[in-house]
Chain A
């Protein structure tokens, strides 16, 4: 009992933190969301998502977040697999590799992309040097997706790598002993056993990508309006905190929805995995 009390006491600073910095603000947002600027109750801020402008931004956000997640997964899985198969004994070194890009300020890295992708930038200089036609990519949806992939990729690699590292080599060897070829082993053993990592990776990329607004501000040139940008502008430009809060509640619902779908996939697979 005393032991238990001591541990819960140690959790107090974090509980306090969550209370002040997460739970209270959530209630504030909810409060703003269901009231008008004069304080009376309304649902208009929530139903405002049906406004064509908002629907369009939400749909665009979902598309960009989906593309980002797919590209991250396609890039990350082979990398994680290769890193795992290298059998690097120093795990800290692998983690170091993933964390390395994060040493540099996030804004700086995105600004670097501006210089690379601009009309007269490094990429186009290189293309014209090779005699190829130049491309217009900065300040488009593609540039925003690229920026997000670049930013969120480590969050996909890390959980997949961890999941792969946990697979018992003997299981793979047993599959080979029983006559499974490389492909069968990969699809029947490796992928199912790393599913946890894939799902955490998808959540860790999709969710922040869905609500992001900084990348689209910097690489979208004010032309790519994601739902995150709409919310930001309601709080700043339009000074409509109520509408901004209402839309962020809707966005939260979408985030929770996508997480619960992913978690359900996770659970159903856990049951039959090793049987």
Chain B
């Protein structure tokens, strides 16, 4: 009896499962009114998302991730067909090299003309022929610090993160590429090095640092700094600007050794099933009003030239939000790692976390 029941059930499962799976996929492909978007966490003003759906009648399935490597894992898992993704420069380069990108039809994005040509030029590092990407935001990696606890002189160098005086007062960035960048800059090496000896040195340095680190955080950094739980934090410029908005004792700097300039852009992955809707999405993101709203939510530098008209002089002069030429001259874009280096640093990162 039991056996019969089991075999009966397994027949049901094995016949039904593919059918259910197939109908799931089928309806996705036919449905032109949906769009699957993948973006960093806390990276869009909710109202913009709502307005896009109201104005276009397209239903957006909006997904978020925290670290750029998470995005890659999510995409590579292949269980969801993403239509349009926003991510960082070097990851776009990796995906481009893997042939995962579909060219963008710029003629269907009239608002593309709002984008600063200088940033489009800078995007050459990961999109050399300007075929695949539309910039969304850009910024730097630096140190957000509390002026009551640390002086400007101290944080002008990455060395401050190895200062025993700040034991349990340092928040390190929870992102393997950025953490290694900090150590490599301190050592005076190229942030794009693939030399294992140099990476090993950086790893040892990060292990030394761990005993002073209060926590490895990313999206929670600014909250931690606002409540003054730590004296300094390695974070992205927008995260810093947001923190400074709430606590006026906070300040941001890119240390003298130099840092990273990053550009986050929209691109169309090969899994795209709703190309036209994706173009409408990108166009909407470049639109004056939407870009302004997004800017006032995330506080990263916007490549949209129309936003400036809506902001006051104080915001536009804010060097945290809009890095100066001098700062930018010290910053470099990341280059994509080859698979071997990527695996190597991922493993070092794991060892560091277990250290």
Contact = CB atoms under 8 A, between A and B. Distances in A.
A and B co-occur in one complex: yes
Interface of A: 4-5, 8, 12, 15-16, 19-20, 24, 53, 56-57, 118-121, 136, 138-139, 221-223, 225, 229-230, 233, 235-239
A15 B2 CA distance: 11
B13 A15 contact: no
Nearest to B77: A239
Interface in B186-212: 210
B354 A238 contact: no
Nearest to A20: B13
Interface stretch (B21-29, B157-165, B221-229, B316-324): B221-229
A223 B350 contact: no
B5 A8 contact: yes
A237 B1 contact: no
10 contacts: A8-B2, A15-B6, A16-B9, A19-B10, A121-B227, A222-B216, A223-B353, A225-B354, A230-B354, A237-B67
Give chain B's interface residue range (CB within 8 Å of chain A): 35 or more
B216 A221 contact: yes
Interface of B: 1-2, 5-6, 9-10, 12-13, 17, 67, 69-70, 72-74, 76-77, 168-169, 174, 176, 210, 213-217, 224, 227-230, 343, 346-347, 349-351, 353-354
B229 A119 contact: yes
B270 to A, nearest CB: 17
A37 B5 CA distance: 36
Counting chain A CB atoms within 10 Å of each CB, which of B5, B67, B349 scores highest?
A: B5
Contacts of A235: 73
A114 to B, nearest CB: 8
A119 B230 contact: yes
A223 B346 contact: no
A223 B215 contact: yes
A53 B214 contact: no
Nearest to A235: B73
Given A8-B1, A222-B215, A238 B229 contact: no
Contacts of A53: 350-351, 354
Give the interface SS of chain B, mostly helix, strand, loop or mixed: helix
A10 to B, nearest CB: 11
Contacts, number: 89
Nearest to A114: B220
Contacts of A118: 224, 227, 229
A126 to B, nearest CB: 15
A57 B70 CA distance: 21
B28 to A, nearest CB: 21
Counting chain A CB atoms within 10 Å of each CB, which of B2, B69, B74, B214 scores highest?
A: B214
B5 A15 contact: yes
Counting chain B CB atoms within 10 Å of each CB, which of A53, A221, A229 scores highest?
A: A221
B214 A221 contact: yes
B73 A237 contact: yes
Contact of A120 (B17, B229, B353): B229
Given A120-B228, A236-B69, A236-B73, A56 B354 contact: yes
Contacts of B76: 239
B215 A139 contact: yes
B350 A238 contact: yes
A223 B210 contact: yes
Given A12-B9, A53-B351, A222-B217, 13 more contacts: A4-B1, A16-B9, A19-B9, A120-B227, A139-B214, A139-B215, A221-B216, A222-B216, A223-B210, A236-B73, A238-B73, A239-B73, A239-B76
Contacts of A19: 9-10, 13
B1 A15 contact: no
B104 to A, nearest CB: 26
Given A4-B1, A118-B224, A221 B69 contact: no
Given A119-B214, A119-B229, A221-B216, A16 B70 contact: no
Given A121-B229, A237-B73, A237-B346, A225 B12 contact: no
Counting chain B CB atoms within 10 Å of each CB, which of A5, A56, A57, A222 scores highest?
A: A222
Contacts of A223: 210, 213, 215-216, 353
B350 A230 contact: yes
